[in-house]
Amino acid sequence: MKTAKLLILTCVLSLNTVFAQENKVNDDTPKAYEMPRTQVIQVSNSETDTLNTLYIKLPVGYEKNTDLEYPVIYFTNPLENIERLSALSEHLIKDVIIVGLTWSKGINYGNLDSYVKFLRNDVFKMVESKYRANAERRTYFGYSAAALVGTYILSKHTNTFENYILGAPVLGVDHEIIQKIYELESTTAEKRKKLKANVFFTYGSLEKEKDIKGFKKFINMLKNINDGNLTVEHVVIKELDHRTAVPMAAVRSMYWLAGLLKK
């Protein structure tokens, strides 16, 4: 029954997702579509002096509900994800701001600590000063390479976000970032107490066997070091691979997040 409901919701979302249709004015001139309640703004990286683009979608009723502070979902690859997450958030969560971030220029796997500084010092400050965003209720959404970034932030800068949605992170990459992530295993009990977050970890059952082993290894590490402050939801999406699991990963994770944000 749950699977059927998810499939129905996926179909509904495909109908409700914003299409780039040509809305015509009186003179029959095609007009570009604009997503309602969405703003595109620039934020400067104070460390690299480069500009990054944010795509910010406000919820229905934002202008009227002036006494509300809203949780925020931050995600990368905005042009790919904003329509999907916009539809899901409006159906399942409603009172939430979503913020899509373009990848910061000059940032790579080797200097993700600089990326975290950019988030904290520039992105969060701008969003939380300009909009009624709740600084205590931040969620990170990432899939594949973006999920690896989220995995690193979780392991090294846990309190950057309250919730982490990690879809099939590329843990098999040959890079020192993987070793840094697994340094969690040797942290002291005192440091583990600070590992407080809610984690949704998902991937398709048809991922490559070596990648599934990597996912399970990471999940087991989280369970082994958890002193009770970390909650982990582990969901395997049946009969889907790395690419085809993306839509269902978004649906399942937003269901999970909706339940958390109601508390």
Domains and CATH numbers, the chain: 36-261 (3.40.50.1820)
Structure tokens at 103: 């990848």
Sequential DSSP letters for 51-83: EEEEEEEPPTTTTT-TT--EEEEEEE-HHHHHH
Higher-pLDDT residue of 105 and 201 is 201
* Predicted local distance difference test score (pLDDT) of residue 220: 95
* Predicted local distance difference test score (pLDDT) of residue 29: 78
Angle 228-116-105 (CA atoms, 0-180°, nearest 5)?
150
Distance (Å, whole) CA 172 – CA 178: 8
* Predicted local distance difference test score (pLDDT) of residue 18: 40
User: Quick one: DSSP state of residue 41?
Assistant: E
Structure tokens at 124: 């969060």
Angle 51-52-53 (CA atoms, 0-180°, nearest 5)?
130
* Predicted local distance difference test score (pLDDT) of residue 23: 45
pLDDT exceeds cutoff 70 at 2: no
Count of other CB atoms within 10 angstroms of residue 212? 16
Q: For 118-157, how does the pLDDT look when each residue is reduced to its tens digit (9 = 90+)?
A: 999 999 999 999 999 999 999 999 999 999 999 999 999 9
- Please check whether residue 44 is in contact with residue 51, taking contact to mean a CB–CB distance below 8 angstroms: yes
The fraction of the chain above a pLDDT of 90, given in percent, is 71
Distance (Å, whole) CA 62 – CA 47: 32
- Please check whether residue 9 is in contact with residue 91, taking contact to mean a CB–CB distance below 8 angstroms: yes
Q: Which of 48-52, 206-210, 222-226 has the highest mean pLDDT?
A: 206-210
Q: For 53-90, how does the pLDDT look when each residue is reduced to its tens digit (9 = 90+)?
A: 999 999 999 999 999 999 999 999 999 999 999 999 99
The pTM (predicted TM-score) of the whole model is 0.88
Q: Map residue 35 onto helix, strand or coil.
A: coil
* Predicted local distance difference test score (pLDDT) of residue 17: 46
- Kindly give the pairing relationship between strand 97-101 and strand 133-143: unpaired
- Please check whether residue 43 is in contact with residue 50, taking contact to mean a CB–CB distance below 8 angstroms: no
pLDDT exceeds cutoff 60 at 232: yes
Q: How far is CA 85 from the centre of its chain?
A: 9
Residues with Cβ within 8 Å of residue 85, at least 6 apart in sequence: 73, 75, 98, 100, 141, 250, 254
Distance (Å, whole) CA 53 – CA 38: 13
Mean pLDDT of 88-96: 95
User: Quick one: DSSP state of residue 123?
Assistant: I
Q: For 145-190, how does the pLDDT look when each residue is reduced to its tens digit (9 = 90+)?
A: 999 999 999 999 999 999 999 999 999 887 899 999 999 888 887 7
Task: Please report where in the chains the tokens 């909650």 appear, as a residue.
Answer: 231
Q: Map residue 20 onto helix, strand or coil.
A: coil
Query: No. of H helices and E strands in the chain?
Result: 9, 10
* Predicted local distance difference test score (pLDDT) of residue 22: 41
> Mean pLDDT of all residues in the chain?
89
* Predicted local distance difference test score (pLDDT) of residue 3: 54
Q: For 4-56, how does the pLDDT look when each residue is reduced to its tens digit (9 = 90+)?
A: 555 555 554 444 444 444 444 456 778 788 888 999 999 999 888 888 999 99
Residue 96's pLDDT band (cuts 50, 70, 90): very high
Backbone angles phi and psi of 151, in degrees to 5: -65, -40
Amino acid at 112: L
- Bridge partner residues of 199 (DSSP): 164, 232
